[in-house]
């Protein structure tokens, strides 16, 4: 991969490595630079510095990268809602009326401890709060403050088996043809620090329009990955038998499965 950061160029790395050793401070002479580059001691210092840097770079640019977080002042006045209308089932309506006391999140599939969680259970678990920007493929963005339980915390409870590679989110809403919304992410993104199952938006319970009682926040991917109205999580080894096999409601209609921002 091309190194686009001039600060991490090989030459600067060598200069940096030399600085640390006190071997020599170069005055920009290419010939001295070249002969030093061939020197064994210098070469090993350079390699050590470079591999250290590669590690740092992977952290900065790879899957572990944190999405930008914002301040309270930057929160959008309203958090636009998008997608299917809220579920219209009797069960959903009754659960909403009961403040979700009867609703449960079912976690099943390739896990050692299949478990169901009430909203109270989820709220009692360690939480994370983050102010992030939601980007929809349609070309709009909104900033909101989300609070929820990290998906990794749930994984610690249910203990996915080694064969598990993805987590599938089963949602309660349907499109106009009656097809349920669903999504999936891999376990690398599932344990990302900002991947949470959110139960609060802007210091209030997640509104019905935004996916009550529980919706996914996966901050390094586009809006359609953020499953709303979650009823169940399923740990699976393959997405082949889920829906039409592409890993999500929109993916089955041609959208990218990995919707990285």
Ligand X SMILES: Nc1nc2c(c(=O)[nH]1)N[C@H]1C(S)=C(S)[C@@H](COP(=O)(O)O)O[C@H]1N2
* Least separation in angstroms between CB 155 and ligand X: 21
* Least separation in angstroms between CB 90 and ligand X: 18
243 contact choice in Mo ion, ligand X, none (CB below 5 to 8 Å, kind-dependent):
none
Indicate the residue among 202 and 236 with the shorter CB distance to ligand X: 202
Beta bridge mates, 245: none
**Could you say which residues in the range 127-156 bind Mo ion, by CB under 5 A?**
136
210 contact choice in ligand X, Mo ion, none (CB below 5 to 8 Å, kind-dependent):
ligand X
Euclidean distance between CA atoms 135 and 200, whole angstroms: 19
* Least separation in angstroms between CB 136 and ligand X: 4
224 contacts Mo ion (rule: CB under 5 A): yes
For binding to ligand X (CB under 6 A), which residues are involved?
80-84, 136, 171, 173, 181, 210-211, 223-224, 226-229
SS3 call for 85: coil
* Least separation in angstroms between CB 104 and Mo ion: 27
Indicate the residue among 228 and 246 with the shorter CB distance to ligand X: 228
Asked, as a colleague might, if the bond just before 213 is cis with ω within 30 of 0, I would say: yes
Single residue of 86, 211, 223, 243 touching Mo ion by CB under 5 A:
223
Residues 173/87, Cβ–Cβ less than 8 Å: yes
Task: Mark residue 81 as left, alpha or beta (left: phi above 0; alpha: psi -120 to 50; beta: remaining).
Answer: beta
DSSP 68: P
153 closest CA partner among 183, 204, 114, 192: 192
Q: In this structure, how many other beta carbons lie within 10 angstroms of the beta carbon of residue 193? A: 13
Residues in touch with Mo ion (CB under 5 A): 136, 223-224
């Amino acid at each position: 991969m091309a190194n686009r950061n001039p600060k991490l160029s090989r030459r600067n790395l060598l200069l940096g490595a030399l600085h640390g050793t006190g071997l020599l401070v170069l005055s920009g002479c290419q010939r001295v630079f070249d002969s030093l580059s061939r020197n064994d001691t210098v070469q090993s210092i350079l390699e050590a510095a470079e591999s250290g840097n590669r590690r740092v770079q992977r952290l900065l640019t790879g899957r572990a990268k944190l999405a930008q977080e914002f301040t309270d002042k930057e929160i959008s006045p309203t958090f636009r809602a998008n997608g299917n209308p809220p579920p219209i089932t009797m069960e959903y309506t009754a659960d909403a009326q009961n403040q979700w006391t009867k609703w449960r999140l079912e976690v099943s599939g390739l896990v050692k401890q299949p478990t169901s969680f009430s909203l109270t259970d989820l709220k009692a678990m360690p939480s994370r709060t983050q102010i992030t920007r939601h980007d929809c493929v349609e070309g709009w963005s909104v900033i909101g403050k989300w609070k929820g339980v990290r998906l990794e915390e749930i994984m610690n409870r249910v203990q996915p088996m080694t064969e598990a590679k993805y987590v599938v989110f089963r949602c309660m809403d349907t499109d106009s043809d009656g097809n349920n919304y669903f999504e999936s992410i891999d376990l690398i993104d599932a344990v990302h620090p900002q991947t949470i199952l959110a139960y609060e938006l802007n210091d209030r319970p997640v509104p019905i329009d935004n996916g009550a009682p529980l919706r996914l926040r996966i901050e390094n991917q586009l809006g359609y990955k953020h499953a709303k109205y979650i009823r169940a999580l399923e740990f699976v080894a393959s997405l082949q038998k889920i829906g039409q096999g592409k890993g999500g409601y929109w993916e089955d209609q041609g959208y990218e499965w990995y919707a990285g921002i």
